[in-house]
A = this chain, B = another copy of it.
Amino acid sequence: MKKHNFSAGPSILPDSVIKQAAAAVLNFDNMDLSLVEVSHRSPQFDAVIKKAQKLVLELAGLEGKGYEVLFLGGGASLQFLMTAYNLLPENGKAGFLDTGTWSKKAIKEADIMGNAVVLASSKDKGYNYIPKNFDIPNDLAYVHVTSNNTIFGTQIKDFPNTSIPLVADMSSDIFSKVLDFSKFDLIYAGAQKNIGASGTTLVIVKKEILDKTGRTIPSMMNYQTHISKDSLFHTPSVFSIYVSMLYMQWVKDLGGVAAMEKINDAKADLLYGEIDNNPNFVGFAAKEDRSPMNVTFTLVDESKKEHFEKLAQEAGIHAFKGHRSVGGYRASIYNAMPIESVQALVNVMKAL
């Protein structure tokens, strides 16, 4: 039976990407060697990372605009620290929009390195909405936002307009919809949700914002180290970067981010439509802030839980339980998720 994979991360990949990745593990680029046993400095892998970097700039529409593209280890969790190391002076302040678990983690690390100021928070309502109309003081080194909140199922639709450097954690919605990426000075995204495999994190950074803190930055924490070596300062996760390159090529072949957005909107409309029309379910997130990537909902009548989950299991629905901090259900319907799988879930909801 076909599995419908709603995992929040690591997440579903396009079938063609999985097949190409498995083939490269056996024989990479006709080298008669596995992708996993080839030097990261070989011409063959150099072509992979260069292609991945080019695809990022193409998909983001950022070619020739002063941005550098890196693939680093350590996930978004390390970026919480690296952004502060690179952008926050020792006694400086950074402003944060607190929209949930991942924002809080970013705030915690920045506050170790300097002062993290919470500009606005949706904690008062259990993070079920995105705060709007908040002030941005002029004395901030940067403003940090989490574009999509995987756990709560909310997404920022309008980003702050500010002349202060804008940093975004886009781990769970990068390249899922058209955006003016040039509004941002630094974007990072763990690859394992929307663009690839766990083990690599995409960083897109405008070079002109670096080197302004006066800090001595350890080599691995310094974006300039990685920029100067084209993401090969140390041996990266070769397999993860290869899978991400394949995934982004798949997005490009579909028609790029605009085409991806149409597909994602159709999936989200289908699932949110069912939540709104089916009296058995209620959505968690405020309607205007709903995420098209992570759809959070609960049963109105908890006594139907066992039956609903049994139906879902019989239909091949995989990993759609809500995060322990929210409960209920979370259907992660990232880029690679086909609408047929969303329909399979909707069919189960209708059958309840």
With A218-B113, A237-B198 already in contact, the answer to whether A10 and B22 are too (CB < 8 A) is no
A61 lies within 8 A of chain B by Cβ: no
Q: What are 9 residue pairs bridging A and B, where the CB atoms are less than 8 Å apart in the complex?
A: A7-B38, A73-B74, A74-B234, A109-B220, A197-B238, A197-B239, A198-B236, A199-B199, A200-B237
The residue on B at minimum CB distance from A191 is B235
Which residues of chain A (80-95) have a CB below 8 Å from chain B? 80-81
Question: How big is the A interface, by class?
Answer: 35 or more
Q: How far is the CB of A268 from chain B (nearest CB, A)?
A: 20
Does A138 touch B at the CB level, under 8 Å? no
* List of B residues within 8 angstroms of A199 by Cβ: 73, 199-200, 236-240
Interface-facing stretch out of A12-20, A47-55, A122-130, A151-159: A12-20
Give the chain B neighbours of A40 by CB distance below 8 A. 10, 198
A75's closest neighbor in chain B, by CB? B234
CB distance from A60 to the nearest CB of B (A): 23
A200 to B234, CA, bound (A): 12
CB nearest neighbor in B for A112: B218
Question: Contacting A39 at CB < 8 Å: which of B7, B33, B233?
Answer: B7
Q: Which residues of A contact B (CB under 8 A)?
A: 1-3, 5, 7-13, 18-19, 21-23, 25-26, 31-34, 36-40, 42, 73-78, 80-81, 105, 108-109, 112-113, 190, 192, 197-200, 216, 218-221, 233-240, 243, 318-319
Partner of A235 from the list B3, B9, B81 (CB cut-off 8 Å) is B9
List 5 A-B pairs, minimum CB-CB distance, nearest first: A199-B237, A73-B73, A77-B234, A22-B25, A75-B234
CB pair B218–A81 under 8 Å, yes or no, is yes
* CA distance in complex: A243, B113 (Å): 36
